[in-house]
Amino acid sequence: MSEKSANQLIHESSPYLLQHAYNPVKWYPWGPEALKKAKESDLPILVSIGYAACHWCHVMERESFEDIEVATYMNEHFINIKIDREERPDLDHIYMDAVQAIAGNGGWPLNVFLTTDAKPFYGGTYFPPQKAYNRPSWKDVLVNIHQAWTDRREELIKQADLLVEHISLAGNSFGKHNAIQVDDSEPLFQRHHCDMITENILKTADMVNGGFGAAPKFPQTFTIQYLLAYGFFFKQQKSQQQAELSLKKMLHGGIYDHLGGGLSRYSTDSYWLVPHFEKMLYDNALLVSVLADAFQITNHKEYEVAIHKTLGFFIKEMKHPEGGFFAAIDADSENVEGKFYVWDKKEIDQILGKDADLYCKWFGISEKGNWEGKNILNIAENEEMFSTENQISSANLQILIHTGNEKLLNERNKRKKPLTDDKILLGWNALLITALCKSAAALGNEVYLKEAVSLFEFIEDKFFKDGVPAFHTYKNNEAKYPAFLDDYAYTIQSCIHLQEITGNQKYLIQAKKITEFVLENFENPDTGFFYFTHQDQSDVITRKVELYDSAVPSGNSIMVENLFYLSVVFEKTDWYIRSQNLTKCILDAVLKYPSSFAIWAGIILKQAIGMNEIVITGKDPGQLKRDLLKLFIPNKVFQSADKEVELPLLKHKEYSGASSIFLCINKVCFAPLREVNEFKMLLKYPVI
C-alpha cells in the first residue's frame, strides 16, 4: 500500500501499532489529538487494546479491521484508538477492569467504548465478524453502541461514572496503613499462616500433570517458587514434589521450545502439550528465576540445562545490538499460529535418517500428529525407563537427542520466523537482570554476571534521568512513556541482586535513591500502598493500585520486599514497619487466595522463618562469596566487601585478614566463620 493509505499509527514505533497502520480504520494512538477530536466531533471513543504476539488480536484485525465496510462504519461513528498494552499497561489495567466488571471476564484483544471524557461504558474481548461462539458480531456491537449513544447517552454517561468509581476503589479496600510498632518478640507472620497458604495452593494443584487449575494453564512460577521454599524450610515433601512436578512437566511439554529454548505464554490444555506459541521476555525471566531456586535446592542437572538453554536463546535471539532485550516473539508466522514450531513426521525422517525412529519415539512424533495433523515436540516418558525399554544408554540417548535437536533447529531456522516485538521494556529487562543474577549465583557462572551488569548499564543509559528510571519503553533510539510502578520496583529488585553477586555497594545506593523517589511520587496516602502511575501523569482517568501477582509480580509486593531488604541495609526502621504493616493489611486475602498473591505469600514465609543477615569481609572475599551464593537462602540480606564501607552492616568489621562470614539472625549475631560448612550449621532453617 502507498503512504497515503496509512492512518495515524504510521508515526508510532510499537510493532503492534504499526501492524495496524494500513488498516482502513482511521486509528489514532492514545493522546491529546484523538481525545480532543472525540470532544469536538461529539463521538464516542472506541479503544482497542492488544499486543504484537497476540494471536486473536491478529484474527480480529483480519476479520474486521481490514474489512472496508466495517472500517467505514467505525470511522463514521467512532473515534478509534489503538493501544499496545505493553507500552501502556496503565491504560490496559483501567479498561481491563472496566470490561471485567461489565462482562465478567477479560483478555486480549480488549475492545472498550468510552465517553468523550474517556470513561468506559461498554466493552468486551474478541468479537467475530458474524454471530458465533455465543458472541454477537462486531458489526452488531458497533450498531448497538451507536444507537445507544444517540438515544440513551445520559444513561451511558451515568454508567461510565459508576464504572470509574468502581475502578478507583479497587485495590483500596485493604485497610489504612498505620505506623504501628511491630513487636519482634512475637512474629507477625507465623507457621500456621504458611500452612494455610500451602493448603489452599495444593487444593488447586494438578497432582498428575503439574501446575494449578484446569486449562488453559499458565506457568504460575511465583506459586511454584513459594512451594519450593515452603517444602525446603519445613521439610514438606508434598510441596516440593508438586513444585518440581510442575517445572518438569512444563520443561517436558510442548509449552517449552525443545529446539530453540524458551517457554510459551500458556498451555491450551491440561498436559502442557499445545501452547499459545507466543514467547514473552517476562515469562522466561521468571521461569529462569524459579529454576535457579530449584537447582540450588536439588542440584538436578535438568534445571541447570534449562537455565542455560533459556538464557542462551534470549541472549542469541532477543538481544538488541545496543544491549537491551526485546519484548516478545509472535505466536503466528504466515498468518498461521504455531507454524514455525510444528513438524510433519516425514520431515523429521528426512532430516534425521536412521536416528529418526528413536528421536520420534522420544518426542511423541507420529504420522497423524498430536495437534491439527502436525507434531509438537513433547517428552512423554521418563528418561531412565525410555533408555531401558529401547536398550540405549542414557549418555547415548542424550547424544542422539542433542544431535537431532541441532539438525532440526538448523532446518527450522530456514522457515519464515514469527515477528519479533522489538521494543525494549524497562520492567521486563529488570526482571531479566534478576534472573541473570540468580543464575550467576546458583551456577557460579561469570557469563551471566557480566550480562546482568551490562544490561543494567544499558537501562541506566537509555531509561534513567537524574539517577532514577524515567521511561517505560525504548525503540529507535528513543525512550518514551513515563515509567510505571512496576518499572521502579523491578529495577530496585535488580539493584539488590546485582549488589549481592558483584559486592558493589553502588547498586544499593541506587536502590535507596529509587525507593525514595517511589515513596515521594507513587504513594497512596490513604492506604500506604502504591499507585501504578506517577502523581504527575495526567492522561489517565484514575490512578489504580495493583495488588495482585498475576502474569508479572505486583509492583506493590516487590516494593514491600524491597523496603524490607533496604530497611536492614540502611537501618531504616520506618521502612521495616511499613513493609510489615502493608503485608499485614493484605494477609487475609493472601491466606484465602494465595495463587493470586504468591509473591506476598513468599514474603510471609520469609518473615515467619526469620531473616539471615549475612556479611562476608576480607582481602579477597570472592571465592567464599561464590560458594555461599550457591546455597538456597531466600530469606537473606547479603553484602560483601574487601574494605570498610559506610553502610551499617559493613562497619566495624575485620577486612585485613582472611575472608570471614558474619551471620546475624533476628538481631542475634554469631562469631565470625571461615568455612561455608560451618555457616550452614547456623542457618535459620528450623522446622517450626
Q: What contacts 382, CB < 8 A, 6 or more positions away?
A: none
Give SS3 for 669: strand
Consecutive H or E run containing 162? helix 153-169
* 49-73 b/e (C-beta count within 10 Å ≥ 16 → b): bbbbbbbbbbbbbebbbebeebbeb
Give SS3 for 620: coil
Q: What is the DSSP string of 324-388?
A: -B--EE-SEETTEETTTT-B-HHHHHHHHGGGHHHHHHHTT--SS-SBTTBB-----S-HHHHHH
pLDDT confidence of residue 687: 44
Integer angstrom CA distances of residue 65 from 21, 72, 120, 140? 11, 10, 21, 14
- The rounded distance, in Å, linking the Cα atoms of 252 and 362 is 11
pLDDT confidence of residue 78: 97
Facing residues of 332 across strands?
Answer: 337
Grid cell of 494 as nine digits: 535488580
pLDDT confidence of residue 644: 85
pLDDT confidence of residue 434: 98
Q: Which residue, 351, 410, 338, 416, is CA-closest to 377?
A: 338
pLDDT confidence of residue 688: 43
Q: Which residue, 597, 535, 595, 523, is CA-closest to 563?
A: 523
N- to C-terminal Cα separation, the chain: 69
- The rounded distance, in Å, linking the Cα atoms of 179 and 473 is 36
Do 144 and 137 meet the contact criterion of CB atoms below 8 Å apart? no
pLDDT confidence of residue 168: 85
- The rounded distance, in Å, linking the Cα atoms of 291 and 302 is 9
Do 331 and 53 meet the contact criterion of CB atoms below 8 Å apart? yes
**Around 632, how many Cα atoms within 13 Å sit in the side-chain half-sphere?**
21
**Which residue type is seen at 40?**
E
Do 244 and 306 meet the contact criterion of CB atoms below 8 Å apart? no
pLDDT confidence of residue 653: 85
Residues of the chain with pLDDT under 50: 1-2, 178-182, 687-688
Give SS3 for 254: coil
Long-range residue pairs from 101-104, CB within 8 A, at least 24 positions apart, any chain: 101/163, 101/166, 101/167, 102/163
Using one digit for the tens of pLDDT, what is the confidence trace for 384-437? 999 999 999 999 999 999 999 999 999 999 999 999 999 999 999 999 999 999
Q: What angle do CA 259, 553, 468 make, to 5 degrees?
A: 105
Peptide bond into 89 cis (omega under 30): no
